[in-house]
Chains A and B, each alone.
Chain A
Amino acid sequence: MTEATPLSKDLVSILDLDRGQVELILDTAESFAEVSERTIKKVPTLRGRTLVGLFFEPSTRTSASFEIAAKRLSADWVSFSLASSSLTKGESLIDTVRNLDAMAPDMVVVRHADPGVPRMLALRVACSVINAGDGAHEHPSQALLDAFTIRKAKGHLEGLLVAMIGDIELSRVVRSNIHLLQMMGARVRVAGPRSMMPLGIEEMGVEVVYSTAEAVRDADVVMMLRIQLERESRARFPSLREYFDVFALTPERLEGAKDDVIILHPGPMNRGVEISSEVADGPYSVILDQVSNGVAVRMALLYLWTLRPEDAS
Protein backbone atom coordinates (compact mmCIF):
# COMPACT_ATOMS: atom_id res chain seq x y z
CA MET A 1 0.00 0.00 0.00
CA THR A 2 1.27 3.45 -0.83
CA GLU A 3 1.65 5.90 2.01
CA ALA A 4 -1.32 8.28 1.67
CA THR A 5 -1.02 11.99 2.32
CA PRO A 6 -2.73 13.09 5.57
CA LEU A 7 -6.50 13.49 5.30
CA SER A 8 -7.91 17.00 5.45
CA LYS A 9 -10.27 17.79 8.33
CA ASP A 10 -13.51 17.27 6.42
CA LEU A 11 -14.92 15.18 3.63
CA VAL A 12 -17.28 17.53 1.81
CA SER A 13 -16.29 16.88 -1.77
CA ILE A 14 -14.43 14.11 -3.57
CA LEU A 15 -12.05 16.91 -4.53
CA ASP A 16 -10.94 16.94 -0.86
CA LEU A 17 -9.21 13.63 -1.65
CA ASP A 18 -6.32 12.50 -3.77
CA ARG A 19 -5.86 9.14 -5.42
CA GLY A 20 -3.76 7.65 -2.64
CA GLN A 21 -6.36 8.61 -0.07
CA VAL A 22 -9.15 7.05 -2.13
CA GLU A 23 -7.13 3.84 -2.26
CA LEU A 24 -6.58 4.00 1.49
CA ILE A 25 -10.34 4.37 2.06
CA LEU A 26 -11.20 1.49 -0.28
CA ASP A 27 -8.51 -0.77 1.23
CA THR A 28 -9.66 0.04 4.76
CA ALA A 29 -13.24 -0.70 3.75
CA GLU A 30 -12.12 -4.18 2.63
CA SER A 31 -11.16 -5.08 6.16
CA PHE A 32 -14.37 -3.65 7.58
CA ALA A 33 -16.38 -5.75 5.12
CA GLU A 34 -15.03 -8.77 7.00
CA VAL A 35 -16.40 -7.43 10.30
CA SER A 36 -19.90 -7.31 8.78
CA GLU A 37 -19.69 -11.01 7.96
CA ARG A 38 -19.08 -12.05 11.58
CA THR A 39 -21.74 -13.28 13.97
CA ILE A 40 -20.78 -10.48 16.36
CA LYS A 41 -20.63 -7.56 13.95
CA LYS A 42 -18.92 -5.15 16.27
CA VAL A 43 -15.39 -4.02 17.01
CA PRO A 44 -14.45 -1.68 19.89
CA THR A 45 -12.45 0.69 17.69
CA LEU A 46 -14.47 3.88 18.27
CA ARG A 47 -15.69 3.12 21.77
CA GLY A 48 -16.59 6.30 23.63
CA ARG A 49 -16.69 8.48 20.51
CA THR A 50 -19.81 10.52 19.81
CA LEU A 51 -20.83 10.85 16.19
CA VAL A 52 -23.71 13.11 15.24
CA GLY A 53 -25.92 12.64 12.20
CA LEU A 54 -27.75 15.74 11.00
CA PHE A 55 -30.34 14.83 8.41
CA PHE A 56 -32.11 17.96 7.23
CA GLU A 57 -33.55 16.03 4.31
CA PRO A 58 -35.33 12.68 4.36
CA SER A 59 -32.89 9.82 4.09
CA THR A 60 -33.42 6.19 4.93
CA ARG A 61 -30.60 4.32 3.31
CA THR A 62 -27.78 6.76 3.91
CA SER A 63 -28.68 7.57 7.49
CA ALA A 64 -29.26 3.89 8.34
CA SER A 65 -25.99 3.00 6.67
CA PHE A 66 -24.01 5.59 8.66
CA GLU A 67 -25.77 4.56 11.86
CA ILE A 68 -25.04 0.87 11.37
CA ALA A 69 -21.45 1.73 10.49
CA ALA A 70 -21.09 3.80 13.67
CA LYS A 71 -22.60 1.08 15.83
CA ARG A 72 -20.42 -1.65 14.35
CA LEU A 73 -17.46 0.48 15.43
CA SER A 74 -18.93 0.83 18.97
CA ALA A 75 -19.33 4.61 18.59
CA ASP A 76 -22.32 6.43 20.10
CA TRP A 77 -24.50 7.65 17.26
CA VAL A 78 -26.93 10.51 17.81
CA SER A 79 -29.14 11.39 14.90
CA PHE A 80 -31.32 14.45 14.35
CA SER A 81 -33.84 14.71 11.61
CA LEU A 82 -35.49 17.89 10.39
CA ALA A 83 -38.78 17.10 12.06
CA SER A 84 -37.25 16.87 15.53
CA SER A 85 -34.73 19.69 15.30
CA SER A 86 -35.09 23.21 16.61
CA LEU A 87 -34.98 24.60 13.09
CA THR A 88 -38.71 24.14 13.10
CA LYS A 89 -38.78 26.33 16.23
CA GLY A 90 -37.01 29.15 14.40
CA GLU A 91 -33.40 28.58 15.38
CA SER A 92 -30.96 29.37 12.59
CA LEU A 93 -28.85 26.60 11.10
CA ILE A 94 -25.68 28.23 12.38
CA ASP A 95 -27.00 28.39 15.95
CA THR A 96 -28.06 24.76 15.81
CA VAL A 97 -24.59 23.84 14.68
CA ARG A 98 -22.79 25.96 17.26
CA ASN A 99 -24.86 24.39 19.99
CA LEU A 100 -24.01 20.97 18.73
CA ASP A 101 -20.34 21.87 18.56
CA ALA A 102 -20.50 22.96 22.21
CA MET A 103 -21.41 19.37 23.10
CA ALA A 104 -18.04 18.33 21.63
CA PRO A 105 -18.96 15.55 19.22
CA ASP A 106 -16.13 13.70 17.48
CA MET A 107 -17.73 14.02 14.07
CA VAL A 108 -20.78 15.46 12.30
CA VAL A 109 -22.36 13.71 9.33
CA VAL A 110 -24.68 16.07 7.49
CA ARG A 111 -27.33 15.81 4.79
CA HIS A 112 -29.04 18.96 3.54
CA ALA A 113 -31.13 19.98 0.55
CA ASP A 114 -28.95 23.03 -0.10
CA PRO A 115 -25.55 22.71 -1.71
CA GLY A 116 -22.77 24.18 0.42
CA VAL A 117 -24.28 23.55 3.87
CA PRO A 118 -21.70 20.89 4.82
CA ARG A 119 -18.85 23.20 3.82
CA MET A 120 -20.34 26.05 5.84
CA LEU A 121 -20.67 23.75 8.86
CA ALA A 122 -17.15 22.49 8.41
CA LEU A 123 -15.81 26.01 8.72
CA ARG A 124 -17.67 26.54 11.99
CA VAL A 125 -17.19 23.35 13.98
CA ALA A 126 -14.03 21.95 15.49
CA CYS A 127 -14.69 18.33 14.59
CA SER A 128 -14.62 16.65 11.19
CA VAL A 129 -17.65 17.02 8.94
CA ILE A 130 -18.67 14.33 6.47
CA ASN A 131 -21.05 15.33 3.69
CA ALA A 132 -23.86 12.79 3.37
CA GLY A 133 -25.37 14.61 0.40
CA ASP A 134 -25.96 18.32 -0.18
CA GLY A 135 -28.59 19.21 -2.74
CA ALA A 136 -27.41 18.64 -6.28
CA HIS A 137 -23.78 19.21 -5.27
CA GLU A 138 -22.03 16.09 -3.95
CA HIS A 139 -22.50 12.78 -2.19
CA PRO A 140 -18.95 11.56 -1.60
CA SER A 141 -19.71 8.47 0.48
CA GLN A 142 -22.02 7.22 -2.29
CA ALA A 143 -19.31 7.70 -4.92
CA LEU A 144 -16.82 5.88 -2.70
CA LEU A 145 -19.14 2.93 -2.17
CA ASP A 146 -19.84 2.83 -5.91
CA ALA A 147 -16.09 2.77 -6.58
CA PHE A 148 -15.68 0.05 -3.94
CA THR A 149 -18.43 -2.02 -5.57
CA ILE A 150 -16.96 -1.58 -9.05
CA ARG A 151 -13.45 -2.41 -7.82
CA LYS A 152 -14.71 -5.55 -6.09
CA ALA A 153 -16.47 -6.73 -9.25
CA LYS A 154 -13.80 -5.73 -11.78
CA GLY A 155 -10.63 -5.81 -9.72
CA HIS A 156 -9.69 -2.27 -10.71
CA LEU A 157 -11.08 1.10 -11.80
CA GLU A 158 -8.40 2.23 -14.23
CA GLY A 159 -9.46 2.13 -17.87
CA LEU A 160 -13.12 1.22 -17.29
CA LEU A 161 -15.92 2.88 -19.22
CA VAL A 162 -18.72 3.94 -16.89
CA ALA A 163 -22.06 5.14 -18.28
CA MET A 164 -24.34 7.22 -16.05
CA ILE A 165 -27.89 7.59 -17.29
CA GLY A 166 -30.75 9.74 -16.10
CA ASP A 167 -31.11 13.07 -14.36
CA ILE A 168 -27.59 14.42 -14.76
CA GLU A 169 -28.61 17.94 -13.77
CA LEU A 170 -29.95 17.34 -10.29
CA SER A 171 -27.87 14.34 -9.28
CA ARG A 172 -25.22 14.82 -6.60
CA VAL A 173 -24.26 11.19 -7.13
CA VAL A 174 -23.19 12.03 -10.70
CA ARG A 175 -20.97 14.90 -9.68
CA SER A 176 -19.14 12.97 -6.97
CA ASN A 177 -18.81 9.95 -9.21
CA ILE A 178 -17.41 11.90 -12.15
CA HIS A 179 -14.71 13.41 -9.92
CA LEU A 180 -13.85 10.10 -8.32
CA LEU A 181 -13.90 7.88 -11.41
CA GLN A 182 -11.81 10.32 -13.43
CA MET A 183 -9.30 10.58 -10.57
CA MET A 184 -9.00 6.80 -10.58
CA GLY A 185 -8.47 6.63 -14.34
CA ALA A 186 -11.91 5.56 -15.54
CA ARG A 187 -13.78 7.12 -18.48
CA VAL A 188 -17.25 8.54 -17.92
CA ARG A 189 -20.13 8.83 -20.35
CA VAL A 190 -23.36 10.53 -19.34
CA ALA A 191 -26.77 10.28 -20.95
CA GLY A 192 -30.30 11.52 -20.34
CA PRO A 193 -32.98 13.75 -21.77
CA ARG A 194 -31.68 17.13 -22.97
CA SER A 195 -33.89 18.76 -20.38
CA MET A 196 -31.90 16.99 -17.66
CA MET A 197 -28.45 17.66 -19.06
CA PRO A 198 -26.72 20.69 -17.52
CA LEU A 199 -25.09 23.15 -19.90
CA GLY A 200 -21.33 22.79 -20.04
CA ILE A 201 -21.22 19.27 -18.60
CA GLU A 202 -18.66 18.42 -21.34
CA GLU A 203 -16.20 20.65 -19.53
CA MET A 204 -16.00 18.04 -16.80
CA GLY A 205 -14.32 15.82 -19.37
CA VAL A 206 -17.22 13.45 -19.92
CA GLU A 207 -18.72 12.16 -23.14
CA VAL A 208 -22.34 13.22 -23.58
CA VAL A 209 -24.96 11.21 -25.48
CA TYR A 210 -28.72 11.37 -25.52
CA SER A 211 -29.91 7.80 -25.72
CA THR A 212 -29.67 4.92 -23.27
CA ALA A 213 -28.68 2.34 -25.87
CA GLU A 214 -25.90 4.59 -27.13
CA ALA A 215 -24.69 5.28 -23.59
CA VAL A 216 -24.53 1.61 -22.76
CA ARG A 217 -22.47 0.63 -25.82
CA ASP A 218 -19.23 -1.13 -24.72
CA ALA A 219 -19.72 0.06 -21.15
CA ASP A 220 -18.10 -1.91 -18.32
CA VAL A 221 -20.38 -0.31 -15.78
CA VAL A 222 -23.85 1.21 -16.13
CA MET A 223 -25.01 3.46 -13.35
CA MET A 224 -28.70 4.32 -13.47
CA LEU A 225 -29.83 7.48 -11.70
CA ARG A 226 -33.03 8.02 -9.88
CA ILE A 227 -35.68 10.29 -11.30
CA GLN A 228 -36.09 12.46 -8.23
CA LEU A 229 -39.85 12.78 -8.27
CA GLU A 230 -39.78 14.89 -5.09
CA ARG A 231 -37.59 17.52 -6.75
CA GLU A 232 -39.59 17.60 -9.96
CA SER A 233 -41.02 21.10 -9.62
CA ARG A 234 -41.14 21.84 -13.31
CA ALA A 235 -41.99 19.46 -16.11
CA ARG A 236 -38.73 18.25 -17.61
CA PHE A 237 -40.35 15.23 -19.24
CA PRO A 238 -43.95 14.59 -20.28
CA SER A 239 -44.77 11.55 -18.14
CA LEU A 240 -43.18 8.73 -16.16
CA ARG A 241 -44.51 6.32 -18.76
CA GLU A 242 -42.79 8.19 -21.55
CA TYR A 243 -39.56 8.41 -19.57
CA PHE A 244 -39.65 4.64 -19.20
CA ASP A 245 -40.39 4.11 -22.87
CA VAL A 246 -37.51 6.32 -24.02
CA PHE A 247 -34.78 6.17 -21.37
CA ALA A 248 -35.28 3.25 -18.98
CA LEU A 249 -32.69 0.52 -18.82
CA THR A 250 -34.30 -2.60 -20.21
CA PRO A 251 -32.74 -5.94 -21.26
CA GLU A 252 -32.96 -4.88 -24.94
CA ARG A 253 -31.15 -1.59 -24.38
CA LEU A 254 -28.45 -3.37 -22.40
CA GLU A 255 -27.45 -5.55 -25.35
CA GLY A 256 -24.63 -3.33 -26.58
CA ALA A 257 -22.79 -3.36 -23.27
CA LYS A 258 -19.75 -5.50 -22.47
CA ASP A 259 -20.58 -9.13 -21.64
CA ASP A 260 -19.50 -8.69 -18.03
CA VAL A 261 -21.25 -5.35 -17.52
CA ILE A 262 -22.47 -4.52 -14.02
CA ILE A 263 -25.50 -2.37 -13.21
CA LEU A 264 -25.50 0.07 -10.32
CA HIS A 265 -28.24 2.24 -8.89
CA PRO A 266 -27.80 4.50 -5.87
CA GLY A 267 -31.38 3.88 -4.71
CA PRO A 268 -34.13 4.28 -3.97
CA MET A 269 -35.15 2.75 -7.28
CA ASN A 270 -38.23 3.72 -9.21
CA ARG A 271 -39.01 0.44 -10.91
CA GLY A 272 -40.77 0.97 -14.19
CA VAL A 273 -39.42 4.54 -14.46
CA GLU A 274 -35.64 4.55 -14.91
CA ILE A 275 -35.06 0.81 -14.69
CA SER A 276 -37.07 -2.29 -15.49
CA SER A 277 -37.43 -5.00 -12.88
CA GLU A 278 -35.80 -7.57 -15.21
CA VAL A 279 -32.60 -5.52 -15.13
CA ALA A 280 -32.80 -4.46 -11.49
CA ASP A 281 -33.15 -8.06 -10.33
CA GLY A 282 -31.12 -9.55 -13.18
CA PRO A 283 -27.73 -11.23 -13.22
CA TYR A 284 -25.76 -8.05 -13.97
CA SER A 285 -27.21 -6.08 -11.09
CA VAL A 286 -24.96 -5.30 -8.10
CA ILE A 287 -27.50 -2.92 -6.57
CA LEU A 288 -27.84 -4.80 -3.29
CA ASP A 289 -24.07 -5.27 -3.07
CA GLN A 290 -23.86 -1.49 -3.14
CA VAL A 291 -25.97 -1.34 -0.01
CA SER A 292 -23.86 -3.88 1.90
CA ASN A 293 -20.67 -2.23 0.70
CA GLY A 294 -22.04 1.12 1.83
CA VAL A 295 -21.74 0.06 5.46
CA ALA A 296 -18.13 -1.08 5.05
CA VAL A 297 -17.14 2.10 3.22
CA ARG A 298 -18.82 4.30 5.82
CA MET A 299 -17.10 2.35 8.60
CA ALA A 300 -13.82 3.19 6.87
CA LEU A 301 -14.75 6.89 6.67
CA LEU A 302 -15.79 7.08 10.33
CA TYR A 303 -12.68 5.20 11.40
CA LEU A 304 -10.22 7.21 9.34
CA TRP A 305 -11.71 10.63 10.10
CA THR A 306 -12.49 10.14 13.78
CA LEU A 307 -8.96 8.92 14.47
CA ARG A 308 -7.34 11.37 12.09
CA PRO A 309 -4.29 12.88 13.84
CA GLU A 310 -5.20 16.40 15.04
CA ASP A 311 -2.15 18.13 13.62
CA ALA A 312 -2.55 16.75 10.12
CA SER A 313 -4.89 19.42 8.81
Chain B
Amino acid sequence: MAGEIVEKNPAIEDVILIGIRTRGVPMAEALAAEIKKMEGVEVPIGILDITFYRDDLSTIGPHPVVGETDLPLPVEDRVLVLCDDVLFSGRTIRAALDALVDFGRPKAVQLAVLIDRVGQRELPIQADVVGCETSTSSEETVRVRFESTDGVAEVEVVSL
Protein backbone atom coordinates (compact mmCIF):
# COMPACT_ATOMS: atom_id res chain seq x y z
CA MET B 1 0.00 0.00 0.00
CA ALA B 2 2.86 2.34 0.86
CA GLY B 3 4.28 1.59 -2.59
CA GLU B 4 1.02 2.49 -4.26
CA ILE B 5 0.83 5.78 -2.36
CA VAL B 6 4.36 6.64 -3.46
CA GLU B 7 3.54 5.65 -7.04
CA LYS B 8 0.41 7.81 -7.11
CA ASN B 9 2.27 10.77 -5.62
CA PRO B 10 5.62 11.45 -7.26
CA ALA B 11 5.88 14.58 -5.11
CA ILE B 12 5.73 12.54 -1.91
CA GLU B 13 6.94 15.50 0.18
CA ASP B 14 3.56 17.17 -0.47
CA VAL B 15 1.69 14.31 1.16
CA ILE B 16 0.18 14.34 4.65
CA LEU B 17 -1.22 11.06 5.94
CA ILE B 18 -4.43 11.65 7.88
CA GLY B 19 -5.43 8.86 10.25
CA ILE B 20 -9.11 8.72 11.12
CA ARG B 21 -9.63 7.91 14.77
CA THR B 22 -9.19 5.39 16.06
CA ARG B 23 -7.79 2.58 13.89
CA GLY B 24 -6.78 4.86 11.03
CA VAL B 25 -4.09 6.35 13.26
CA PRO B 26 -1.88 3.25 13.73
CA MET B 27 -2.44 2.52 10.06
CA ALA B 28 -1.16 5.97 9.04
CA GLU B 29 1.83 5.46 11.33
CA ALA B 30 2.62 2.11 9.76
CA LEU B 31 2.36 3.57 6.26
CA ALA B 32 4.61 6.49 7.20
CA ALA B 33 7.24 4.08 8.55
CA GLU B 34 7.06 2.03 5.35
CA ILE B 35 7.36 5.12 3.13
CA LYS B 36 10.37 6.27 5.14
CA LYS B 37 12.01 2.89 4.53
CA MET B 38 11.33 3.05 0.81
CA GLU B 39 11.95 6.71 0.03
CA GLY B 40 13.79 8.07 3.02
CA VAL B 41 11.08 10.74 3.37
CA GLU B 42 9.41 11.53 6.68
CA VAL B 43 5.74 11.96 5.73
CA PRO B 44 3.83 14.00 8.33
CA ILE B 45 0.83 12.44 10.05
CA GLY B 46 -2.37 14.17 11.09
CA ILE B 47 -5.16 12.82 13.26
CA LEU B 48 -8.82 13.41 12.51
CA ASP B 49 -11.73 12.74 14.86
CA ILE B 50 -14.95 12.82 12.87
CA THR B 51 -17.40 12.55 15.77
CA PHE B 52 -18.67 16.13 15.43
CA TYR B 53 -19.41 15.50 11.74
CA ARG B 54 -21.31 12.21 12.01
CA ASP B 55 -24.79 12.00 10.50
CA ASP B 56 -26.12 9.59 13.12
CA LEU B 57 -25.55 11.61 16.32
CA SER B 58 -29.28 12.08 16.90
CA THR B 59 -29.90 8.34 16.75
CA ILE B 60 -26.92 7.03 18.70
CA GLY B 61 -26.61 9.94 21.15
CA PRO B 62 -23.37 11.69 22.03
CA HIS B 63 -20.35 9.58 21.27
CA PRO B 64 -18.74 8.70 24.60
CA VAL B 65 -15.13 9.15 23.53
CA VAL B 66 -14.31 12.20 21.49
CA GLY B 67 -10.62 12.40 20.70
CA GLU B 68 -8.75 15.48 19.67
CA THR B 69 -8.13 16.35 16.06
CA ASP B 70 -4.53 17.24 15.40
CA LEU B 71 -3.38 18.38 11.99
CA PRO B 72 0.31 19.29 12.24
CA LEU B 73 0.48 21.56 9.19
CA PRO B 74 -1.76 23.78 7.09
CA VAL B 75 -3.49 21.59 4.50
CA GLU B 76 -3.39 24.19 1.72
CA ASP B 77 -1.71 22.85 -1.44
CA ARG B 78 -0.97 19.49 0.18
CA VAL B 79 -2.15 16.06 -0.89
CA LEU B 80 -4.00 14.47 1.97
CA VAL B 81 -4.22 10.70 2.11
CA LEU B 82 -7.05 9.71 4.43
CA CYS B 83 -6.28 6.44 6.17
CA ASP B 84 -8.91 4.18 7.71
CA ASP B 85 -8.91 0.52 8.57
CA VAL B 86 -12.23 -0.53 7.03
CA LEU B 87 -14.29 1.05 4.26
CA PHE B 88 -17.91 -0.01 4.69
CA SER B 89 -20.85 2.36 4.19
CA GLY B 90 -18.65 5.32 3.24
CA ARG B 91 -20.30 7.52 5.86
CA THR B 92 -17.15 7.93 7.93
CA ILE B 93 -15.32 9.14 4.84
CA ARG B 94 -18.15 11.56 4.02
CA ALA B 95 -17.82 12.99 7.55
CA ALA B 96 -14.02 13.12 7.21
CA LEU B 97 -14.27 15.07 3.94
CA ASP B 98 -16.60 17.56 5.62
CA ALA B 99 -14.19 17.92 8.52
CA LEU B 100 -11.23 18.53 6.20
CA VAL B 101 -13.08 21.34 4.45
CA ASP B 102 -13.05 23.22 7.76
CA PHE B 103 -9.27 23.15 7.80
CA GLY B 104 -8.66 24.60 4.37
CA ARG B 105 -8.41 23.63 0.72
CA PRO B 106 -5.99 20.80 0.05
CA LYS B 107 -4.68 20.18 -3.48
CA ALA B 108 -6.22 16.70 -3.45
CA VAL B 109 -7.64 14.16 -1.05
CA GLN B 110 -7.05 10.45 -1.56
CA LEU B 111 -8.32 7.48 0.41
CA ALA B 112 -6.32 4.49 1.58
CA VAL B 113 -8.07 1.62 3.39
CA LEU B 114 -6.76 -1.65 4.67
CA ILE B 115 -10.01 -3.56 4.09
CA ASP B 116 -12.59 -2.65 1.47
CA ARG B 117 -15.94 -4.28 2.12
CA VAL B 118 -17.10 -4.25 -1.48
CA GLY B 119 -20.79 -4.00 -2.27
CA GLN B 120 -21.68 -2.41 1.09
CA ARG B 121 -21.41 1.23 0.12
CA GLU B 122 -24.27 3.62 0.99
CA LEU B 123 -22.61 6.65 -0.60
CA PRO B 124 -20.70 7.15 -3.86
CA ILE B 125 -17.26 6.85 -2.28
CA GLN B 126 -14.37 4.61 -3.27
CA ALA B 127 -10.81 4.09 -2.13
CA ASP B 128 -7.69 4.95 -4.15
CA VAL B 129 -5.48 2.46 -2.36
CA VAL B 130 -6.83 -0.81 -0.98
CA GLY B 131 -5.01 -3.38 1.10
CA CYS B 132 -7.51 -6.18 0.67
CA GLU B 133 -11.03 -6.56 -0.66
CA THR B 134 -13.59 -8.70 1.10
CA SER B 135 -17.15 -9.56 0.26
CA THR B 136 -18.98 -9.59 3.54
CA SER B 137 -22.67 -9.20 4.36
CA SER B 138 -24.18 -6.50 6.53
CA GLU B 139 -24.76 -9.18 9.17
CA GLU B 140 -21.02 -9.36 9.60
CA THR B 141 -18.51 -6.90 10.97
CA VAL B 142 -14.79 -6.65 10.26
CA ARG B 143 -12.40 -6.00 13.14
CA VAL B 144 -8.88 -4.83 12.54
CA ARG B 145 -6.28 -4.88 15.29
CA PHE B 146 -2.86 -3.27 15.16
CA GLU B 147 0.30 -4.27 16.94
CA SER B 148 0.81 -0.76 18.33
CA THR B 149 -2.70 -0.32 19.80
CA ASP B 150 -3.96 -3.85 20.41
CA GLY B 151 -0.81 -5.93 20.81
CA VAL B 152 -1.64 -8.13 17.82
CA ALA B 153 -1.91 -7.51 14.10
CA GLU B 154 -4.97 -9.28 12.75
CA VAL B 155 -8.16 -8.91 10.75
CA GLU B 156 -11.22 -10.81 11.83
CA VAL B 157 -14.66 -11.21 10.26
CA VAL B 158 -17.28 -11.59 12.98
CA SER B 159 -20.96 -12.50 12.56
CA LEU B 160 -23.24 -10.15 14.44
Q: Do A and B bind each other?
A: yes
Q: How far is the CA of A303 from the CA of B104 in the complex (A)?
A: 24
Scan A297-313; emit 1 where CB is below 8 A from any B CB, else 0. 00000011001110010
Knowing A3-B64, A307-B57, A308-B62, the reply to whether A35 touches B52 (Cβ < 8 A) is: yes
Would B68 and A43 count as touching, CB distance under 8 A? Answer: no
CB of A99 to closest CB in B, whole Å: 25
**Residue B135, interface by CB 8 Å:** no
**Residue B34, interface by CB 8 Å:** no
Would A307 and B61 count as touching, CB distance under 8 A? Answer: yes
Query: For this complex, into which size category does the number of interface residues on chain B fall?
Result: 20 to 34
Contact partners of A42 in chain B: CB under 8 A: 102
Knowing A30-B68, A34-B69, the reply to whether A43 touches B62 (Cβ < 8 A) is: no
Q: How far is the CA of A28 from the CA of B58 in the complex (A)?
A: 17
Task: Name the contact of B62 in the complex, choosing from A38, A40, A44, A303 (C-beta under 8 A).
Answer: A303
Contact partners of B104 in chain A: CB under 8 A: 39
**Residue B155, interface by CB 8 Å:** no
**Residue A93, interface by CB 8 Å:** no
Q: How far is the CA of A27 from the CA of B53 in the complex (A)?
A: 18
Q: How far is the CA of A303 from the CA of B52 in the complex (A)?
A: 9
Q: How far is the CA of A20 from the CA of B100 in the complex (A)?
A: 32
CB contact list, B70-112 vs A, under 8 A: 70, 98-99, 102-104
Would A34 and B52 count as touching, CB distance under 8 A? Answer: no
Query: For this complex, into which size category does the number of interface residues on chain A fall?
Result: 20 to 34
**Residue A4, interface by CB 8 Å:** yes
Would A44 and B64 count as touching, CB distance under 8 A? Answer: no
Contact partners of A308 in chain B: CB under 8 A: 61-62
**Residue B66, interface by CB 8 Å:** yes
**Residue A235, interface by CB 8 Å:** no
Contact partners of B69 in chain A: CB under 8 A: 31, 34
Scan B39-68; emit 1 where CB is below 8 A from any A CB, else 0. 000000000010111000110011011111
CB nearest neighbor in A for B58:
A307
CB nearest neighbor in A for B70:
A34
Contact partners of A39 in chain B: CB under 8 A: 103-104
**Residue A136, interface by CB 8 Å:** no
CB nearest neighbor in A for B65:
A1
Would B57 and A1 count as touching, CB distance under 8 A? Answer: no
Q: How far is the CA of A42 from the CA of B102 in the complex (A)?
A: 8
CB nearest neighbor in A for B49:
A31
Knowing A38-B103, A307-B57, A307-B58, the reply to whether A44 touches B65 (Cβ < 8 A) is: no
CB of A120 to closest CB in B, whole Å: 27
Contact partners of A183 in chain B: CB under 8 A: none
Task: Name the contact of B53 in the complex, choosing from A31, A45, A309 (C-beta under 8 A).
Answer: A45
Scan A73-116; emit 1 where CB is below 8 A from any B CB, else 0. 10000000000000000000000000000000000000000000
**Residue A24, interface by CB 8 Å:** yes
Would A45 and B102 count as touching, CB distance under 8 A? Answer: no
Knowing A31-B67, A45-B52, the reply to whether A40 touches B103 (Cβ < 8 A) is: yes
Q: Offer 17 A-B interface pairs, CB within 8 angstroms, sorted by A.
A: A24-B64, A28-B62, A30-B68, A31-B66, A31-B69, A34-B68, A34-B69, A35-B52, A38-B102, A43-B102, A44-B52, A45-B53, A45-B57, A307-B57, A307-B58, A308-B62, A309-B61
Q: What is B's interface to A at a CB cutoff of 8 Å? A: 49, 51-53, 57-58, 61-62, 64-70, 98-99, 102-104
With A1-B64, A31-B49, A312-B61 known, 11 other A-B pairs at CB within 8 A are A4-B64, A28-B66, A34-B70, A38-B102, A40-B103, A44-B52, A44-B53, A45-B53, A73-B52, A307-B57, A307-B62
Q: What is A's interface to B at a CB cutoff of 8 Å? A: 1, 3-4, 24, 27-28, 30-31, 34-35, 38-40, 42-45, 73, 303-304, 307-309, 312
Q: Which 10 A-B pairs have the closest CB atoms?
A: A43-B52, A309-B61, A31-B66, A45-B52, A307-B62, A40-B102, A34-B68, A304-B62, A31-B68, A307-B57
